[in-house]
Structure 1
């Protein structure tokens, strides 16, 4: 069960974004002095430093913007938009399947993460939004307690369930990089 129940995948369901402030607001001072708090404070500092550094780079590197990706049915335009590279490997999705079975099936079925209701929930959203959600809210009894790569592998499995094409590069466990990958992007 998630903090919002299993209904977070239901059509029309909305949930507040799961940013670190949400996570800290939920758990408050219960993290005081814990390794997780140290990790979150370090991550917040790294994001601030990276944000300051990125504002000074207004050159061509930032001009490309987010990459739109689409399921296999329209993989050719998505592959062109992504420079021919899709964002996870078959091997990573296979690992993600095993990790999903080990960590998620006690509360979730893989069918929750595929199909039209999943697409409606995540259309025009970044892969990073899914990654961020699972990172800060799963597993329910230990949110954020798995290695970052485990979360990336599970998200790769979710992408495979939705027929997104695999490629030669693994999905990175980097929220910044994943925020550049938009799923089911509408034209225009």
Structure 2
């Protein structure tokens, strides 16, 4: 990955990871909750200020499509194109998130209620079982395959997945494992990480790996972060990955 491209990716990740919730004066309770949900789940791709990273991640600021609540609910609950699904969000949370993005960055499309969201949900709302990366969600064999695939990433992110911090000749890039990585991605799902990686990496040729290789890379990243291996592989399925949460803790 060229140094300039690595800097672009680094800036995206750092900007999203460093977001601190500062509720604006006059925000309603749903807007404040929606802001927290946005920063937790969406800012890594659409950026804290809603400007996105077009064309991969479209801007939400000034997006007339946000008038269409059915489209918002469908995209959040099921995912679409480069957007992962968020099956763990309740109708109340989707309503809060929709309220925030529809009324931020110059948008003014009105508040959304839980009842509004429920009207566009397909089927009854169900409780989604969530898992943590500490629950043994990948296998040792899968992580080993991911280590082989990681050869394509070492030039920018370093042999130790530390963002090439030990190479004085390289620009610093985001770490892909251990404490710093877990801190930056804490609370986000593996679906978000999967979609981000396969749509932006390698920066000079995004999407050049197979979906299986991208999910194997995630298994390797988790293994290096000392998450335990289990008996079942991570699937290259955003819906399934959306049920697995990255948690920042030292061990299982």
Segments of structure 2 that go 5 or more residues without pairing to the other structure are: 20-41, 47-51, 59-79, 86-120, 163-174
Q: Sort the Cα spacing of 1:23 and 1:172 in 2 relative to 1 into closer, same or farther, 3 A.
A: farther
Q: Which of the pair has more CA radius of gyration? A: 2
Alignment of 1:1-150 (within 5 A): 1-2=5-6, 4-7=8-11, 8=13, 12-13=17-18, 16-18=43-45, 25-26=55-56, 44=81, 55-58=121-124, 62-63=126-127, 65-71=128-134, 79=135, 86-101=136-151, 103-109=152-158, 110-111=161-162, 112-150=175-213
Distance, in Å, in 1 between the alignment partners of 2:14 and 2:221 is 13
Q: How far did residue 169 of structure 1 move?
A: 0.9
Q: Which runs of 4+ in 1 moved over 4 A?
A: 9-12
Q: TM-score, normalised by structure 1?
A: 0.64
Q: Sort the Cα spacing of 1:165 and 1:10 in 2 relative to 1 into closer, same or farther, 3 A.
A: farther
Q: TM-score, normalised by structure 2?
A: 0.49
Distance, in Å, in 1 between the alignment partners of 2:235 and 2:202 is 20
Segments of structure 1 that go 5 or more residues without pairing to the other structure are: 29-42, 49-54, 72-78, 80-85
The alignment of Structure 1 onto Structure 2 pairs a total of residues equal to 147
Q: How far did residue 166 of structure 1 move?
A: 0.9
Determine if contact 2:139/2:231 at 8 Å carries over to the other structure: yes
CA RMSD in angstroms comes to: 3.4
Q: How far did residue 24 of structure 1 move?
A: 5.7
